[in-house]
Structure 1
Amino acid sequence: MSPATECPAYDFDLYSDDVLRDPYPHYRALRDLGAAVWLPRNALYAVGRFEDVRAALRNPALFASAQGVAANDHVNEMSRGTTLASDAPLHDRLRAIIAAPLLPRALEEIGPQIRSEARQLVEGLVARGKFDAVSDLAQHLPLTIVSKLVGLEDHGRGSMLRWASATFNVLGTMNARGCTAMSDVQEMRGYLGGSAIRERLRPGSWGDRIFAAADRGEVEPERCPVLMRDYLGPSLDTTIFATANLILLFGQHPEQWDLVRKDAALIPGAINEALRLESPIRGFTRCVTADATIGGTLIPAGSRVLLLYASANRDERKWHEPERFDVRRRASDHLGFGNGTHMCAGLHLARLEMTALLEVLIEKVQHFEIGEPVLALNNVLRGLKSLPVRVS
């Protein structure tokens, strides 16, 4: 669809390697250009200001997910009817099933287990003195505790990281990265959709509960594998990236780490601030169901709009000195987990895991000496592949 004539254009591919490596100047340029900006190389409108992104996320009737949330038609077509790519009433019914074990009251049962595992992990790493903040620290809880809770047996657990990364890569454009990831996505769909999947799940696990819901008639049996996939994203890459980003930021800003060490009550604020400043999810698209006006710019019905959470979280109109890391900032309304009906179902689990790690780290670590971070290039996620750390 052709852009509205009054809409400014930004002639960069937001999914290119160069942009992924340093996206923030591009986000700022988009915000400065206008409330809505046409991306000719991606055939999308981009929305990057905080108030506009939040308003769109809170208006699913106009900014719909049912036609998919990817930046390419192929994945939007194949993902229709999933929790991510649906609207009420289907979305509400599906989300109620997968969110049940992720609610705060349900997580109280596993809190002691996660805290115990976090303490054992951190104490071991501190004793070593140096480790990788991604593979040794951030990945541990999701790949042990959480994979066990989901109920995936060894083959599935060994593939989960690769599948999760691929799931987000295909939600961007079908560039080389997205095309390559499709084979991993198909492997995941085949595994989770196989006839033997229920037998492989631990009885009482989150995955097993999905099939039990089908037995009760709460969801169609053919949707069970689809719902299983919903645990991969919130349980893995997003939390892993957010955790490693915390260590990176504390290594870059030791004075902020000192503040948290002296006052554990700052831990929730520190997590929010890290999620705001280095949002693991760059953003998803929505399909406009009727003509929409954003900041005076007309977006025609049927257009696809990219809602940039990571840009909104650095919007100068919302945040004072938005590029500064400040653990005392009131950032609880950040959009790192999205907003509205599609707000991340795993946000409480992510907070629990990060909090458990920080509670032990503030006891054991006075200073993070970080090495050269290695970025994990992903079409939709932003995070680290590796981060060498020495602690004292």
Structure 2
Amino acid sequence: MDRSMNIVATKNVTSPVCDIDAYATSTLLDREPLQRAVRETAPVVWMPQNGVYATGRYDEIREVLANWQTFQVGGGIGWPNYYKEKPWRPPANPTETDPPHHDAPRRVLSEVLGMRTLRRLRESWMAEADSLVDEVLLRGPELDGMKDLAAAYPLKVFADAVGLPAEGRSNLLAYGDLVFNAFGPQNELFHQNARRLSELSEWVATMCQRENLRAGSLGATIWESSDRGEILPEQASLTVRSLLSAGIDTTIHGIAALLHAFATHPEQWAILKNDPSLARHAFDEIVRWASPFQVVFHTTSEAVDLGGLSVGKHEKVMLLLGAANRDPRHWDNPDVFDITRDPSGHLGFGMGLHQCVGQHVARLEAEALLRALVARVNRIELAGEPARGINNTLAVWERVPLRLELA
């Protein structure tokens, strides 16, 4: 019998069990076996290797995300339980705070990243995408989609918009890798990153201070909101830090996944060539099909029934977003990458109170880059073996070698 289908007594409850280590190297390189086992074993399972409950089903994850009163983020959105241990850094606000502490920073971020801002940025971001693609194509038809496009574009346009200096922006990738690894246990991945913990944390904290942000930038606007009393002065730098997280790591790896998908699904690129208005639609489909943000945790504020299982107070629940986004109970042909499908309702950006505040920024970044490419490139194909990275939380890419056939 498959070990993931065993039934054992755990916490005085007869619980369905998935006996896979969610943080084993083999799992982090290929999460599909874990996703399938958790999703198909039961609505909610116990993970003895990790000491948490988990669900990979769309309906149960949606229930958790919708009920912030019972399933809270104040215990941390990663595997460490802040109700039982001290966090290694100040919890992100609003990402890891519940109402009422969550509300003011969330309102400020929602305003800063609102549609008025995006309309103002749209023209310049489209022009930046055109310039970047032209520059890359001048070097020749082969490139690294990860380094030359997926990372280069957000690190330019979004970091400019936040108001960061041009120097040292590569630190954002290293810091993001550290943060998302820290959402898991203190395994080898965490300790590899922790060697630069002090350096990177100090750099980010310094960059988020008012004096280091360009006047008129999104970061400076957040500090101005503290002048008006909309948030506390001590919340301003943490809110700028959350702003950086909203538009960098998941966007970069989402765009890298999208470029890889088009290289391996040429018929989908042909569809986009025929109808470039599907660019934003295509990004939502990749966030569903190859979710960059694979797993998030919520913590129970009280004993609760979830999926027919009794879960005690202050217990972690692992939400396998990538599994839910391919749940056949909700999606038709979930394993098929199809930019013409309606991907609305996917959980790659979360939902409810803590839904990703930067999702519209990510969509605009991806749309601008795709429109620049589709106007110049007839075909995208692989020019070598892609390399996946490894991260406790994200599905990441190290290299996506591409060959572009010019229009």
| In 2, Cα distance between equivalents of 1:158 and 1:78 | 21
How many pairs were matched up?
Answer: 392
| In 1, Cα distance between equivalents of 2:12 and 2:248 | 39
Deviations 1:282-338 (A, max 9, x none): 121111112222221111122110111111001111112211111111111111111
Matched, 1:170 2:178: no
1:372: how far off?
1.1
1:264: how far off?
1.9
Identical-pair percentage:
34
1:224: how far off?
2.2
Deviations 1:81-130 (A, max 9, x none): 62111111221211112232211221110111100010111223234211
Pairing partner for 1:93 from 99, 104, 112: 104
| In 2, Cα distance between equivalents of 1:269 and 1:214 | 36
Pairing partner for 1:379 from 392, 396, 399: 392
Spell out the pairing of 1:55-74 with structure 2 (5 A cutoff).
Answer: 55-73=63-81, 74=85
Pairing partner for 1:190 from 202, 205, 211: 202
| In 2, Cα distance between equivalents of 1:195 and 1:389 | 34
Pairing partner for 2:298 from 286, 293, 306: 286
Which amino acid is 1:6 matched to?
T
Deviations 1:30-80 (A, max 9, x none): 111111111111111111101110111011001011121110145647444
Larger mean Cα displacement after TM superposition, 38-47 or 215-224: 215-224
1:186: how far off?
3.5
Contact 1:169 1:378 in 2 (8 A): yes
| In 1, Cα distance between equivalents of 2:297 and 2:86 | 12
Question: Partner of 2:143 in structure 1?
Answer: 131
Contact 2:19 2:47 in 1 (8 A): yes
| In 1, Cα distance between equivalents of 2:273 and 2:393 | 33
Pairing partner for 1:36 from 25, 36, 44: 44
Deviations 1:167-219 (A, max 9, x none): 11101111111233334443343234449932221112222222222222222
Matched, 1:355 2:367: yes
Question: Partner of 1:103 in structure 2?
Answer: 114
| In 1, Cα distance between equivalents of 2:364 and 2:67 | 29
| In 2, Cα distance between equivalents of 1:28 and 1:258 | 31
Pairing partner for 1:346 from 358, 367, 378: 358
Matched, 1:23 2:31: yes
Larger mean Cα displacement after TM superposition, 207-216 or 84-93: 207-216
Question: Partner of 2:4 in structure 1?
Answer: none
Contact 2:222 2:236 in 1 (8 A): yes
Larger mean Cα displacement after TM superposition, 99-108 or 32-41: 99-108
Q: 1:244 to 1:152 in 2, by over 3 A?
A: same
Spell out the pairing of 1:254-293 with structure 2 (5 A cutoff).
Answer: 254-293=266-305
Question: Partner of 1:211 in structure 2?
Answer: 223
Contact 1:191 1:197 in 2 (8 A): no
Give ranges in structure 2 of 5+ residues lacking alignment. Answer: 1-9
| In 1, Cα distance between equivalents of 2:346 and 2:317 | 20
| In 2, Cα distance between equivalents of 1:390 and 1:138 | 15
| In 1, Cα distance between equivalents of 2:294 and 2:208 | 35
SS of residue in 2 equivalent to 1:248: helix
| In 1, Cα distance between equivalents of 2:394 and 2:92 | 22
Which amino acid is 1:315 matched to?
D
Q: 1:167 to 1:5 in 2, by over 3 A?
A: same
| In 1, Cα distance between equivalents of 2:35 and 2:172 | 31
Contact 2:161 2:217 in 1 (8 A): yes
1:390: how far off?
0.4
Which amino acid is 1:234 matched to?
A
| In 1, Cα distance between equivalents of 2:299 and 2:95 | 13
Q: 1:91 to 1:379 in 2, by over 3 A?
A: same
Computed over aligned residues only, the root mean square deviation of the Cα atoms, in angstroms, reads 2.0
Pairing partner for 1:301 from 310, 313, 322: 313
Contact 2:280 2:364 in 1 (8 A): no
| In 1, Cα distance between equivalents of 2:156 and 2:186 | 32
TM (norm. structure 1) is: 0.95
Question: Partner of 2:347 in structure 1?
Answer: 335
Contact 2:18 2:46 in 1 (8 A): yes
Q: 1:343 to 1:183 in 2, by over 3 A?
A: farther
| In 1, Cα distance between equivalents of 2:12 and 2:137 | 56
Contact 1:276 1:331 in 2 (8 A): yes
Question: Partner of 1:391 in structure 2?
Answer: 404
| In 1, Cα distance between equivalents of 2:170 and 2:260 | 26
Give ranges in structure 1 of 5+ residues lacking alignment. Answer: none
